Structure 1
Amino acid sequence: MPHYHVVAAIIQHRGKILCAQKGAGKYSYIDYKYEFPGGKVETGEPLEAALRREVLEEIHLNIHVDELYHTVFHKYPDFSITMAAYLCTTSDVGSLLLEEHIQCQWLSPAELPQLNWAAADLPIAEKLAAAAKNV
């Protein structure tokens, strides 16, 4: 079973977080699920550079990568991933152009649990929502 190292961007802007919905793809169990934008890390590529590249490719957004927030290991039926999720910021929200998603939403951390998240992204959404309750 293949294992991939991936990165995810928790993009924050004015108290909201960007949530991106996948379309239909190779694996039905992640079709139409929400995720934090990101993708696979290329061999030898620094994680933060991979994250900036993937977000620019997927949604045409320039981000500032702040800090590692959470790392998830998840085993899907056909592959497994280690996903490093970083807190990020942007001031470039007007330029979203979706290349790999069918829609994006800006939600407050408390609103994140209402979405149908991909299994690997769910622990991150839950952690962000729980942290918002404790503020």
Structure 2
Amino acid sequence: MIKVTCAIIVNADGLVFAAQRSATMSLPLKWEFPGGKIEPGETAEACLIREIKEELHVDIEVEASLPANTHQYPNVTIQLIPFVCRITSGQIVLKEHLDFKWLPKDELLALDWAEADVAVVRWYVES
């Protein structure tokens, strides 16, 4: 099983950040909360801070953790570990993703999410 973190980034207006995977990534054009694989010896929080800096060129602060979701894709099982975060500095620059949106919480489920993210989105929207 691969452990992967993801950031539910919320801005000052309460809008939530969603990133669209590029056509060259696995699960092309699906929406996701950005993040990445935890490296050996790395905490989930440190992983997320590093991944968001690499992928979006911003610094974040982790504010809360949410329940992890384990999802079985045809070729791999991942444990998705979500955190609610806020941007503390920088401007978003997409390094890997095709697009992004800031959405109200109640519009998140309208997107075509990566399968592992769906349970996280539902939990966040309903909590």
Give the residue type in structure 1 aligned to 2:21.
K
The aligned residue for residue 5 of structure 1 is 3
**CA offset at residue 91 of structure 1?**
4.2
For 2:63, give the aligned amino acid: D
Show the counterpart of 2:107. Answer: 111
**Partner residue of 1:21?**
20
Identity %: 37
Cα distance in 1, alignment partners of residues 104 and 25 from structure 2:
30
1:96 to 92, 96, 115: 92
Q: Distance in 2 between matches of 1:32 and 1:102?
A: 8
Give ranges in structure 1 of 5+ residues lacking alignment.
Answer: none
Q: Alpha carbon RMSD of aligned pairs, Å?
A: 1.3
Measure, in 2, the Cα distance between the counterparts of 1:26 and 1:48: 24
Displacement of 1:24 after TM fit? 2.0
In the alignment, residue 20 of structure 1 is paired with which amino acid? A
Match of 1:124 in 2: 120
Partner of 1:58: 55
SS in 2 for 1:120: helix
Once the two structures are superposed, residues 100-134 of structure 1 have per-residue CA deviations (whole angstroms, 9 ceiling, x without a partner) of: 10001000110101100000001111122223xxx
Deviations 1:62-97 (A, max 9, x none): 1001121120000101111011100111244x6111
In structure 1, how many angstroms separate the alpha carbons of the residues matched to 2:25 and 2:95?
A: 16
TM-score for both structures, normalised by structure 2: 0.93
Aligned mates of 1:19, 1:70 — CA distance in 2: 19
Question: Aligned residue pairs: how many?
Answer: 126
After TM superposition, give the deviation of residue 53 of structure 1 in Å.
0.2
Q: Matches of 2:3 and 2:25 in 1, distance apart?
A: 18
Distance 1:89 1:126 in 2: 20
